[in-house]
Amino acid sequence: MKQSINILISGGGTGGHIYPAIAIANELKLRYPNAKFLFVGAKDKMEMEKVPQAGYEIKGLWISGIQRRLTVDNLSFPFKLISSLWNASKIIRKFKPDVAIGTGGFASGPTLIMANRKGIPTLIQEQNSFPGITNKLLSKKAYKICVAYDNLERFFPADKIVKTGNPVRQDLLSIHSKTEEGKSFFKLDKNQKTILVLGGSLGARKINQLVETNLEFFKKQGVQVIWQCGKLYFEEYKKYNEIENIQVHEFLNRMDFAYAASDIIISRAGASSVSELCIVGKPVLFIPSPNVSEDHQTKNAKSIANKHGAILLKESELETFPIVFETLLKDKGKQSNLSENIKELALPGATTAIVNEVEKLLK
């Protein structure tokens, strides 16, 4: 094998595609300190900021998804696609990757299509229990497909599938030793139960509205709340920081401490969140977003709830939230059952397993 290897990684749009990509890069860097890395993302998306923060170079493509309704963006989609395929081809020609890895998101489509055309071995990492259209298309030419759920032969060639799980932040593997540290980091009362509310990096309107309407209810329950409301909503909700036992955060930089300090977690059901929560092993109430492609968040949450590892509450049923929540809060046995069952579904060695597959392609 040649001395220096070049690794091309594409993934973005949301934290759920970016953080797995960075985790894979970090593990590869440990094994190949002299390797060169290049990320490809979508211009104006959060990867253009998050990837350089993690210490990697990134190039941006002019690409976005197709909207479900007729919009000006849809009319420009064919031009964006042609432009992205052409630019991806140029990037690949210049960088000469030995392998190309896609973790999902708009840019990974054109990038991996061109890598396949140029005969570069490709690996895709599918985080969801129900794959999006891009990965279904890419799977035909991909060498390997790393998945986190069972029964994906319905969508992908069975001989290429390897069940690895989703990469998660390494600092979550030891959160059970960080409870005290987490509570003092967030200045919490050690005698009160802590509720952690997560709506994803941008935020979730329905979850934020739910918390806002239940502030008085939380007070009556005697709980304290760490509320990550997201970038889009922080200005609107930061005023509630004045209420005792309520903390509103735009973003949580120490997720390990937030998880460690919490007793019950209310969360969206994006693939990365679900994988993290399996490792964290706390009682979870999933409120999946119904507005994502193929409703995959509901499918992710169902796959856990069906194994009694979490409670699933649809957005259309939010009026029942106070009853569901209070019942869980008062039932210690239920809390510990959910904890045990969700932990059973964790795949903590996912990053290592995926990088083992990448190594096979390099050799």
Counting the structural domains of the chain, the total is 2
Give the CATH number, domain containing residue 270: 3.40.50.2000
pLDDT at 79: 82
Residue 293 pLDDT greater than 90, yes or no = no
pLDDT above 90 covers a percentage of the chain that reads: 78
Task: Tell whether 179 and 137 lie within a shared domain.
Answer: no
Residue 1 domain flag: no
Task: Tell whether 198 and 134 lie within a shared domain.
Answer: no
Residue 3 pLDDT greater than 90, yes or no = no
Task: Tell whether 180 and 117 lie within a shared domain.
Answer: no
Task: Tell whether 294 and 242 lie within a shared domain.
Answer: yes
Task: Tell whether 279 and 208 lie within a shared domain.
Answer: yes
pLDDT above 70 covers a percentage of the chain that reads: 97
Q: What is the mean pLDDT of residues 155-167?
A: 96
The range of the structural domain enclosing residue 71 comes to 6-168+348-362
Q: What is the mean pLDDT of residues 55-70?
A: 80
Task: Tell whether 278 and 310 lie within a shared domain.
Answer: yes
**CA gap 259, 256 in Å, rounded:** 5
Residue 10 pLDDT greater than 90, yes or no = yes
Average pLDDT score over the chain: 92
Task: Tell whether 243 and 198 lie within a shared domain.
Answer: yes
Residue 260 domain flag: yes
Task: Tell whether 29 and 176 lie within a shared domain.
Answer: no
Residue 161 domain flag: yes
Q: What is the mean pLDDT of residues 47-68?
A: 87
Task: Tell whether 176 and 199 lie within a shared domain.
Answer: yes
Under the banding of pLDDT at 50, 70 and 90, the label for residue 181 is very high
Residue 16 pLDDT greater than 90, yes or no = no
Q: What is the pTM of this model?
A: 0.84
Residue 287 domain flag: yes
Task: Tell whether 62 and 146 lie within a shared domain.
Answer: yes
Phi-psi region of 290 (alpha: psi -120 to 50; beta: other; left: phi over 0): alpha
Task: Tell whether 86 and 133 lie within a shared domain.
Answer: yes
Task: Tell whether 177 and 290 lie within a shared domain.
Answer: yes
pLDDT at 205: 92
User: Residues comprising the binding site for UDP-N-acetyl-alpha-D-glucosamine?
Assistant: 14-16, 128, 169, 201, 297
User: Residues comprising the binding site?
Assistant: 14-16, 128, 169, 201, 297
